Chains A and B, each alone.
Chain A
Amino acid sequence: MDKDRYYNHLLFRMEQLLYHELSDCASWKTELIGIDFIQTQDIQGANETEIIDACIAKLKAAGLVKDITYSIGGKGILLKLKVAGCPHMLKEKLLRESGIKPYSCLATNMILDQLIEKLGYATTYVADLAVDEEKGECAIRAAIYATPAKIGEVSDWSKE
């Protein structure tokens, strides 16, 4: 039995139903999906790059991603992630085929969770998830707000 395939079909059905119930709000409701793994990993770091690097190392070591690269820009608000070799690509493909734009990246949820839990970030928001099925990677743009004062510090993300 292909367990990855089995679990991806379960996740697909759950996300499909959530989207049907909640429309675009579904992504806001699923921000905790995946955090249980990372919360058991004793992530340590004094700043955001150390936290993100530690999360990526744990994810790779556990075989949950092949690699994640990232950059931080947009006045410190924009976290761009590229997730390669994620076992949930099938889930995203099934969602797309059912007419729903993929909206939940578990690896991103984990990283954002640790920014909040370990560094006390005020809030985060997954702004965009683009899935490249051919390359087998996803590009995520997330807003990370270290403090409430960072809300409203705008810039043009298309230039990042």
Chain B
Amino acid sequence: MPDILDVIVSRKSIRRYKPDPVPDELIDKVLEAARWAPTGENYQPWRFIVVRDQETRNRIADLARLGSGSRMTAWYCMGHMQERFAGIEDPVKREKVLRFMYSGEVSAFAKDAPVVIAVIGTLMEGSVDVPYDLSAAIENICLEAHALGLGACWVHGPVASTRDARKFKEILGIPTGLGQYKVIAYVSIGWPAEQRKHPRPKKSLEELVFWERFGNKERPRHG
């Protein structure tokens, strides 16, 4: 069995796309990967809405801009964003990045992604694992897209607030009852128009892993 660690490690969140269309065969493979994600008791609560229509993607992008921008504008006004990006030494560049963030433009890329896949879960079939199952499916989507040479980005923020999630459902005609379907995220997909030269730093395993019990940093010897 091939080791897919290289696929996992080399994947980056891609937010800039070429306008070239993504063939149906590749989208089918991405959806097939999602369909095979682990799912509690095999409930498979996920449903996928594949969106190529430009007007619909524009509306999703506008919603995303509003959601992220509303929060980040407030965070900037309180000084939180400046702290978060203090590592950018060039003040001009830092301010440009910050403006990109608090304007909400950072999240408006659905309009430029040839394909958006909304990932929703039915709450009406008894599954007790909906958000977790959907997250596993989304990860499969991102990994398969990357393995096919596509770029993808998992986007939760624009559907994070209750009102925005409702607006998102209305855009796509999803029943809006809170007991019907849960919108967890969408994934934008397209041919990458960017190479992420500076991937976000990852915490080391030493920082993240405990052995046998919480807090125990010392790895036990075996054999």
Contact = CB atoms under 8 A, between A and B. Distances in A.
B47 interface: no
Contact of A28 (B75, B99, B102, B162): B162
A148 B62 contact: yes
B77 interface: yes
Give the interface centre of B62, B77, B99, B162 by most chain A CB atoms within 10 Å.
B77
Interface string A59-97: 000000000000000100110000000000000000000
A152 to B, nearest CB: 4
Given A123-B70, A124-B70, A152-B104, A31 B162 contact: yes
Interface string A130-160: 0000000000010101001001111111100
B169 interface: no
B65 A148 contact: yes
A127 B75 contact: yes
Nearest to B163: A31
Contacts, number: 74
A145 B70 contact: yes
B67 interface: yes
Given A25-B160, A31-B163, A123-B163, A152 B77 contact: no
Classify chain B's interface size. 20 to 34
A152 B103 contact: yes
A30 B178 CA distance: 13
B71 interface: yes
A128 interface: yes
B79 interface: yes
A158 B62 CA distance: 29
A60 B164 CA distance: 30
A155 B160 CA distance: 25
A29 interface: yes
Contact of A153 (B73, B162, B163): B73
By DSSP majority rule, is chain A's interface helix, strand, loop, or mixed? mixed
A118 to B, nearest CB: 15
By DSSP majority rule, is chain B's interface helix, strand, loop, or mixed? helix
A124 B162 CA distance: 12
Contacts of A30: 162
A32 interface: yes
Interface in B129-171: 160-164
Contacts of A151: 65-66, 69-70, 73, 102-104
Interface of B: 62, 65-67, 69-71, 73-79, 99, 102-104, 160-164
Given A78-B77, A124-B70, 17 more contacts: A25-B160, A28-B160, A29-B160, A29-B161, A32-B162, A123-B70, A123-B164, A141-B78, A143-B73, A148-B65, A151-B73, A151-B103, A152-B69, A152-B73, A153-B73, A156-B79, A158-B78
18 contacts: A77-B73, A116-B163, A123-B70, A123-B163, A124-B70, A125-B70, A125-B74, A125-B161, A127-B74, A127-B75, A128-B78, A141-B78, A152-B69, A152-B99, A154-B76, A156-B77, A158-B78, A158-B79
Interface of A: 25, 28-32, 74, 77-78, 116, 122-125, 127-128, 141, 143, 145, 148, 151-158
